[in-house]
């Protein structure tokens, strides 16, 4: 049986384009993927939570990126029991949030089928799917992934686009 896991990071709070939100843009997509596939999920939650205030969050993110930090996260998931892993995150400063690297580097990706998705506000996937390819040794990245503006992810139209993509996979 093909067991599916959805791993994602998403930051609620004050958002660049959509005001203050309780559920992040990427999380909305992740929840829909979970619902449509009856999948399990793991949310990457940093031990030291990112500030809700946008300006503070972007400053911390910039610092972490500059120092190539690997922030710790809460708990973990054993990915060995899953064949297919949807992997989602927002673009932060043209890259993945550093805590996402922490997760990638802690796991053995050999033999996994990985399907990336991300939200952004203009940068698309910003080359991060290529980074996933090089860092997830032994994994096969399926399809072109799914990249959507965060503001669109919060609309019915956005969720419909996601559903269409899921049914074409
Ligand atoms: C620290 C930070 C840096 C960001 N950098 C970029 C960026 O370089 N390019 C971009 O298109 N969007 C950028 N954004 C916007 C987010 O990618 C976008 O709002 C995304 O949908 C947030 O997803 P989330 O609600 O799941 O965290 C940034 C947002 C934050 C908080």
- CATH number of 4-168: 3.40.50.360, 3.40.50.720, 3.30.450.70, 3.40.50.620? 3.40.50.360
Beta partners for 87? 7, 116
Distance CA 103, CA 94 (A): 18
- pLDDT (tens digit per residue) in 29-67: 999 999 999 999 999 999 999 998 999 999 999 999 999
* Residue among 18, 57, 91 whose CB has most ligand 1 atoms within 8 A, to mutate: 91
Return the residue whose CA atom lies nearest to atom 22 of ligand 1: 90
Residues in the chain: 169
Domain map (residue ranges) of the chain: 4-168
Q: In this structure, how many other beta carbons lie within 10 angstroms of the beta carbon of residue 164? A: 9
| Confidence band of 21 (pLDDT split at 50, 70, 90) | confident
> 81 C-alpha vs ligand 1 centroid, how far in Å?
31
pTM for this structure? 0.97
Beta partners for 146? 117
* Residue among 8, 55, 90 whose CB has most ligand 1 atoms within 8 A, to mutate: 90
């Amino acid at each position: 049986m093909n067991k599916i896991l959805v791993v994602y990071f998403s930051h609620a709070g004050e958002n660049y384009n959509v005001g203050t939100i309780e559920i992040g843009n990427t999380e909305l997509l992740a929840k829909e993927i979970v619902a449509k596939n009856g999948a399990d999920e793991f949310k990457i939650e940093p031990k030291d939570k990112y500030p809700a205030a946008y300006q503070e969050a972007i400053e911390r993110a910039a610092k972490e990126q500059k120092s190539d930090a690997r922030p710790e996260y809460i708990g973990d998931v054993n990915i060995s029991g899953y064949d297919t892993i949807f992997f989602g995150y927002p673009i932060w400063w043209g890259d993945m949030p550093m805590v996402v690297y922490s997760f990638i580097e802690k796991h053995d990706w050999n033999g996994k089928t990985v399907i990336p998705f991300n939200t952004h506000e203009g940068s698309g996937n910003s080359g991060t799917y290529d980074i996933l390819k090089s860092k997830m040794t032994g994994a096969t990245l399926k399809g072109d992934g799914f990249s959507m503006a965060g503001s669109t992810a919060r609309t019915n139209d956005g969720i419909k686009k996601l559903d269409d993509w899921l049914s074409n996979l």
